[in-house]
Structure 1
Amino acid sequence: MDRFWLKSYPPGVPSDIDPSVYPSVVALLEESFTRFRDQRAYVCMDKAITFGDVDTLSLALASWLQDKGLRKGTRVAIMMPNVLQYPVALAAVLRAGLIAVNVNPLYTARELAHQLKDSGAEAVIVLENFASTLQKALDGTAVKHIVVASMGDLLGFPKGLIVNFVVRTMRKMVPAFSLPGHTKFNDALSAGRSMAFARPDIGPGDVAVLQYTGGTTGIAKGATLLHHTIVANLLASEAWMQPGLKRKNLTGQFTIVCALPLYHVFAFIACGLLGMRTGALNILIPNPRDMKGTIAELAKYKINIFPGVNTLFNGLANQPDFAKLDFSQLAISNGGGMAVQEAVAKKWLAITGCPIVEGYGLSETSAGVTCNPTDSEEYTGTIGLPLPNVEIKILDDHGKEVALGEAGEIAIKGPQVMQGYWQRPDETALVMTPDGFFKSGDVGAMDVRGYIKIVDRKKDMIVVSGFKVFPNEIEGVVASHPGVLECAAIGVPDAGSGEAVMLFVVKKDAALTKDALQAWCAQQFTGYKRPKYIEFRDELPKTNVGKILRRELRDSMLKKAA
């Protein structure tokens, strides 16, 4: 394939990288543990742990996991926000030869139960704030071992005790739970320190991570990411960063703002693992919705790299105190997860002096596969160029390549692409072409320079603050409400989150109210999936075979808004 876009690459960025230089993510991490041993790797609530600490702590936890009889290839769910225990748990799981299953800690019991059953996870490492959800989700799963962490575990004495007291007693952020036989995080570490560690033989073709996504159909599926796959993405991302880092005369260790959740593929790669690879300090923000708290935290550090989504950039840029921060060392602001709006990009540039370089990727491609050059000086309105090793074709509905400038489905090939959906060959077949390209479900057009612009969505997926929401899931659950006859979910524009879920309902029970239905949805869905708007209708538009026409509903709402 003629990768003509290579002519548009910034000087010094290679067209390809060789992922075989590391047999596994573990080999890459262990090199960093040695190379950057005394440097701070992560900081959270003013407590930092070094690369050496991550090495020591993760080895102890890996030994404990092995002692529990977990063998190579066993799945372990990690259910935590951005706290110091997350990188320790991840490194431990991978070093023990196990497969990490990233879990959104804000999931409801229903959503969590599906992921645990589908992955076949035999162990869970969970922050105690979310342990009550786990308790409700355990029935019918293969989970045998549970490690419960608390916010203060790695914060030292007396700070850890104080934080735990505030979280549990004053803020009442830990609902009561009962998980008989669970082990406390610090107890597992203590026990593991005296246990033998058996180094597993991990190769490039072994599975490293199951990254769950709704894919194109709405059933949460695990994108199977191999060690080779993640190494390829990390090395390509590292190469792509270099021109941007040269924009400023950076000295010493650089910092990455980690305000996006590490369980999401974007931060998982662009913050957590890329920080480990490059010897950076990740500033962990457990709750980025607390904008004032986030700004107060950022004021303590020089900021060099700032990955974010449009809603985060927009929220911060609209806080007066944000403009008071020192941005003199900010070299790269990379946007992904959802479209970066031009108005937000302009405001961000005016405040920080650092343009947002937008990229694009999916769980199925272990995060980024395209990005604007990191030394760009302005907003382009595109998702940039294919990264090293990546091939992209734009396909019509028959799988044929369209002409440059024409819209079609974005299809991706390269070592970054997943092996397939975990134990779902039928679903995998739906998204892979015979010549090995992954069909993204997104519609875009490529220009003569190789820059790609997202035009539309092939599916009816809704993107709320960078998170995918699938109407099929929303409708399937809402339809189970005894007062609902029919329903349809669509995405509508929303200033705060890019899009919001709107629900149209035909009642079965005339007494059903919007408030009652919203309260019910709050029990069924994590925050970003909950319908923000509900409209009752006497009937829904349908095709002649009875399929509900979501597009007609969407069009009618856009006309109203116009």
Structure 2
Amino acid sequence: MPELIREHARGQPGKLAVRQGDSRLSWGELDARVDRIAAALQRDGVKPRDSIAICGANSIAYLALFLGGLRAGAAVAPLPTGTTTEQLAGMVRDSGARLFFTDASVPMFETQAHRVRMDLPDALAAWLGTGGGAPRPVDIQPDWAFNIIYSSGTTGTPKGIVQPHAMRWAHVARGENYGFGPDAVAMVATSLCSNTTLVSVFPCLAKGGAVVMTEGRFDPSGYLSLAAQARATHAMLVPVQYHRLMAVPDFGRHDLSAFHMKFSTSAPFAAKLKADVLARWPGGLVEYYGMTEGGGTCILEAHLFADKLHTVGKPAEGHDIRLIDEEGRELPRGEIGEVVGRSVSMMTGYHNQPQKTREAEWYDTEGNRFIRTGDVGRFDEDGFLTLMDRRKDMVISGGFNIYPSDLEAVLRQHATVADVAVVGVPSAEWGESPVAFVVPHAGAPEPGVLRVWANERLGKTQRLVDLRYLPELPRSDIGKVLKRQLRDSWAA
């Protein structure tokens, strides 16, 4: 990646590379800034295969620091902002970062890493110094860590997922299939700390396209205006963002005709919403199903398979995806089981957690390594994968397996349900029982009335024991519902 940045700077030095608001860098300017950052890191003792950490809102400085870390041969740990101070301190410590780049949104805490404010131009300039900025060349190897991405912490202590350069390069190669090139303009409205974002940003940069980042909190109307003005060709958005964009009253007024391809990943994407995006937003729509840990990826090219919108697609080329039962035995097609996957795009492991790494692995009878997803699914007769639910989210009530997604689908049929999540809560009689948390539209009935309506349409073993209204569901930075918080709030 650092060499490609250099090549684009030589071949198209004045062309736009990255833009945010009124700030922009050409390829020549980006390359020069990346050089200065890499040289400053080396000056401060950062050696190849060391690490640096970055935490804050998306910015041009953030992206340049990420690229500068790579040019110095370091692994970059882009840390989530939506975690507790204790978790954040733990991630910095676990990453082994020598330097920690932050902005005003990051609280102060004790850390061994040297802290630098990237949002204060004077502070960043002081750290960079006055040197000419010519870093020592580094011969980066495919198995070196490219980045360490920490899980969201929705199920406990965040784990550092080590992605090597070879894995990131596989993402770049996959991007070639979807039109990334020198004329691409990729919209970025999700955090740079997320793999969701990086699987779009790096293929665009690798092919010499331009990255356009939004500012501040996600604003659907502002996003559409910016996409139209920038003549955006590509976008990566999570399903909740698509939902909000398609609900903009004057959506059709915005000229989105330059779009070539849109992507989505990270959370369940309702078939009805996919159909709406296809009907009203120009360009193709691709859903990726996979994990930050890598392993197996399924791809649904929704614009080509309108009858498969309820699925997450078929295994990507070169990806081996299978289903296993609770005992780790492989299941035949048509059976429901946990999804495991294998490909060239796989994490090295969880940083400093060999036991957690072993728990995430499954080996077939020939000794091939697969990554366990924790998701439960089933392949149809055409080889398309339908997801049932997260294994840890499955409710076991009276010995019966209940998939929350089935209950959520029923509730979404009610006209006043804007959003919904179902979780299992402890039950003295049944072990677990399902509870629904609903975001209502105006005019919704009392929660008890809606619960009765739903239970009339659910099977006997699926019936809800409680239904509560919330103004919004708790979500991570990339739109995943934080079901652990919902369970905790019910018990409180």
- Partner of residue 369, structure 2: 436
Tell whether 2:199 aligns with 1:269.
Answer: yes
Match of 1:309 in 2: 238
Of the three residues 128, 147, 151, the one matched with 1:213 is: 151
CA displacement at 1:273 relative to structure 2 = 0.6
Cα drift, residue 46 of structure 1: 3.0
Matches of 1:356 and 1:215, distance apart in 2: 29
The unaligned stretches of length 5 or more in structure 1 are 1-24, 154-182, 246-250, 464-468, 476-487, 497-520, 539-562
Does the Cα contact within 8 Å between 1:212 and 1:363 map onto a contact in 2?
Answer: no
Separation (CA, whole Å) in 2 of partners of 1:114 and 1:62: 25
Amino acid aligned to 1:186: A
Deviation at 1:363, TM superposition (A): 1.4
Tell me the residue number matched to 1:149.
Answer: 118
1:130 maps to which of 92, 95, 105: 105
- CA deviations on 1:368-412 (whole Å, 9 max, x unpaired) are 822113752636221112223321111122222211122211111
Q: State whether structure 2 residue 279 is matched by structure 1 residue 350.
A: yes
Alignment of 1:311-460 (within 5 A): 311-354=240-283, 356-365=285-294, 369-373=297-301, 376=304, 378=306, 380-434=309-363, 435-460=368-393
AA at the equivalent of 1:146: R
Query: Structure 1 length normalisation: TM-score?
Result: 0.68
Q: Counterparts of 1:394 and 1:437 in 2: how far apart (Å)?
A: 11
Compute the displacement of 1:39 (Å). 2.0
Distance 1:384 1:48 in 2: 37
1:46-125 map, 5 Å: 46-125=22-101
Aligned to 2:126: 187
Q: Which amino acid aligns with 1:79?
A: C
C-alpha distance in 2 between matches for 1:450 and 1:365:
20
Over 3 Å counting, the alpha-carbon distance change for 1:99 and 1:535 in structure 2 is closer
Letter in 2 for 1:393: R
Distance 1:357 1:195 in 2: 40
The CA distance in 2 between the partners of 1:64 and 1:58, in whole Å, is 10
CA distance in 1, matches of 2:55, 2:75: 14
Distance 1:200 1:317, change over 3 A: same
Q: Which amino acid aligns with 1:202?
A: I
Match of 2:63, SS state, is helix
CA shift, 1:50, in A, is 1.7
What is the letter of the counterpart of residue 315 of structure 1?
R
When the two chains are superposed, the root-mean-square deviation of aligned CA atoms in Å is: 3.4
Alignment partner of 1:200 is 2:170: no
Shift of 1:536: 6.3
Tell whether 2:204 aligns with 1:228: no
Could you give the per-residue CA deviations for residues 522-543 of structure 1, whole angstroms, max 9, x where no partner exists? 9xxx9975946976669xxxxx
Q: By how many angstroms is 1:65 displaced?
A: 1.0
Q: Which runs of 5+ in 2 are unaligned?
A: 395-403, 406-420, 427-431, 441-473
Partner Cα distance (1:495, 1:417) in 2: 37
Q: Distance in 1 between matches of 2:269 and 2:44?
A: 45
Aligned mates of 1:74, 1:252 — CA distance in 2: 32
Find the counterpart in structure 2 of residue 174 from structure 1: none
For 2:39, give the aligned amino acid.
S
Structure 1: distance between partners of 2:279 and 2:316 = 28
Residue 310 and residue 490 in structure 1: after superposition, are their counterparts in 2 closer, same or farther (change >3 A)? farther
Amino acid at match of 1:71: K
Report the alpha carbon displacement of residue 291 of structure 1 after superposing the two structures with TM.
2.6
Superposed CA offset, 1:92-132 (max 9, x none): 001111110011133331221121122122211112x224x
* Counterpart residue number, 1:544: none
Return the structure number with greater relative CO, CA threshold 8 A, min gap 6. Answer: 1
Is the 8 Å Cα contact of residues 39 and 279 (structure 1) preserved in structure 2? no
How big is the shift at 1:489? 13
Amino acid at match of 2:17: A
State the distance in 2 between where 1:150 and 1:409 align.
43
Q: Cα distance 1:53–1:493, how it changes in 2: closer, same or farther (>3 A)?
A: farther
Tell me how far 1:349 sits from its aligned partner.
Answer: 2.6
Q: Do 2:302 and 2:309's aligned partners in 1 also have CA atoms closer than 8 Å?
A: no
Alignment counterpart, residue 285 of structure 1, candidates 214, 218, 222:
214
| CA-CA distance at 1:269 after TM superposition | 1.7
Map of 1:260 onto structure 2? 190
Q: Is the 8 A contact 1:211 1:224 kept in 2?
A: yes
Distance 1:412 1:281, change over 3 A: same
Q: Determine the C-alpha separation between the residues in 1 that align with 2:346 and 2:256.
A: 35
- For residues 85 and 311 of structure 2, what CA distance do their matches in structure 1 show? 38
Q: Taking structure 1 as reference, are residues 444 and 203 closer, same or farther at Cα in structure 2, changes over 3 Å only? A: same
The letter of the residue matching 1:231 is: W
Shift of 1:33: 3.9
Measured in 1, the distance between the counterparts of 2:142 and 2:167 equals: 8
Change beyond 3 A, Cα 1:537–1:223: closer
The change in CA–CA distance for 1:291 and 1:186 in structure 2 (over 3 A counts) is farther
- For residues 46 and 372 of structure 2, what CA distance do their matches in structure 1 show? 35
CA displacement at 1:302 relative to structure 2: 1.2
Aligned CA distance change for structure 1 residues 47 and 453 (closer, same or farther; 3 Å): same
Q: Which residue of 2 aligns with 1:164?
A: none
Q: What is the TM-score when the length of structure 2 is the normalising length? A: 0.77
Q: Report the Cα offset of residue 27 of structure 1.
A: 3.6
Mean alpha-carbon deviation: is it higher for 396-405 or for 94-103? 396-405
| Aligned residues of 1:223 and 1:422 also touching (Cα < 8 A) | yes
Aligned residue pairs: how many?
A: 420
SS of corresponding position for 2:322: strand
Distance 2:390 2:118 in 1: 39
The amino acid across from 1:253 in the alignment is D
